[in-house]
Chain A
Amino acid sequence: MLAHRRFLLTAFASFAIMGCDKAPAKGSPEGERVAATSPNATAAVTEEKSAPGKPVKVAFSAPGADHGWLAAIVKNAREEAKRLGDVTLEVSEGATDPASQASQIDALVAGKPDVLVVLPTDGQALTPAAQAAMRAHIPVVAVDRELASPSAYRTWIGGDNYGIGFSAGNYIAEQLNCKGNVVEIQGIAGISVTELRTKGFNDAIKRCNNGVQVVARQAANFLPDKGLEVMEAILQAQKKIDAVYTHDDDMAMGVVSAIQNAKRDKEMFVTGAGGSKRAMDLVKNGSLYRATFLYNPSMAASAIRLARLIGQGKGLRDLTEPEVPSRIQVPATAVTKENVNTFLTFGYE
Chain B
Amino acid sequence: MNAANAIAPRKPASRSEQVRLRRIQDFALTLVLVLLVVAGGVLRGERFLNYENLKATVTQASAVGILAIGMTFIIATGGIDLSVGSVLAFAAIAGGKLAGGGDLAFIAAALLAGTAAGAANGIAVAYGKVVPFIVTLAMLTVARGTALWMSDKTPIPVGELETLRWFGAGQVLGVPVPAWVLLLVAAIGWVILNQTRYGRYVVAVGSNREAARIGGVRVQRVLLSVYAITGLCAGLSATLLTGRLASASPIAGNFYELDAIAAVVIGGTSLAGGKATVVGTVLGVLTFAVIFNLLTLLDMRIEIQQIVKGIIIFAAVLVQRKGA
Residues of A within 8 A of B (CB): 65-68, 71, 189-190, 215-219, 221, 223-226, 228-230, 232-237, 239, 250, 253-254, 257, 260-261, 278, 349
Least CB distance, A51 to chain B, in whole angstroms: 30
Kindly state the separation between the CA atoms of A223 and B85 in the bound complex, as whole angstroms: 14
Q: Closest chain B residue to A188 by CB distance?
A: B302
B132 in the interface, Cβ–Cβ < 8 Å? no
- Report the tally of A-B residue pairs with Cβ distances under 8 A: 95
Name the prevailing secondary structure of the B interface residues. helix
Chain A residues within 8 Å of B216, by CB: none
Kindly state the separation between the CA atoms of A243 and B154 in the bound complex, as whole angstroms: 26
Give 8 nearest A-B pairs by CB, closest first: A71-B153, A233-B296, A237-B297, A261-B169, A219-B302, A236-B53, A225-B252, A189-B302
Can you name 27 A-B residue pairings with CB atoms under 8 Å?
Answer: A68-B154, A68-B155, A71-B153, A189-B301, A216-B296, A217-B299, A218-B299, A223-B251, A223-B252, A224-B245, A224-B247, A226-B254, A228-B244, A228-B245, A229-B292, A230-B296, A233-B297, A234-B296, A236-B52, A236-B53, A236-B293, A237-B44, A237-B297, A237-B299, A253-B246, A261-B168, A278-B157
Are A224 and B292 in contact, with the CB atoms below 8 A? no
Kindly state the separation between the CA atoms of A105 and B302 in the bound complex, as whole angstroms: 33
Least CB distance, A247 to chain B, in whole angstroms: 13
Q: Closest chain A residue to B60 by CB distance?
A: A229
Interface size on B, residues (CB 8 A): 34
Are B254 and A223 in contact, with the CB atoms below 8 A? yes
Q: Closest chain B residue to A349 by CB distance?
A: B154
Chain B residues within 8 Å of A229, by CB: 60, 292
Chain A residues within 8 Å of B150, by CB: none
Query: A224-B251, A233-B293, A257-B246 known; A65 and B60 CB under 8 Å?
Result: no
Chain A residues within 8 Å of B157, by CB: 278
Least CB distance, B248 to chain A, in whole angstroms: 10
Kindly state the separation between the CA atoms of A177 and B65 in the bound complex, as whole angstroms: 43
Least CB distance, B183 to chain A, in whole angstroms: 19
The 8 Å CB contact of A232, one of B60, B144, B241, B299, is B60
Are B154 and A71 in contact, with the CB atoms below 8 A? yes
Chain B residues within 8 Å of A257, by CB: 169, 244-247
Are B247 and A216 in contact, with the CB atoms below 8 A? no
13 additional A-B pairs beyond A216-B299, A224-B155, A257-B169, beta carbons within 8 Å, are A66-B148, A71-B152, A189-B301, A189-B303, A215-B299, A217-B301, A223-B249, A224-B249, A232-B60, A233-B56, A233-B297, A257-B247, A260-B169
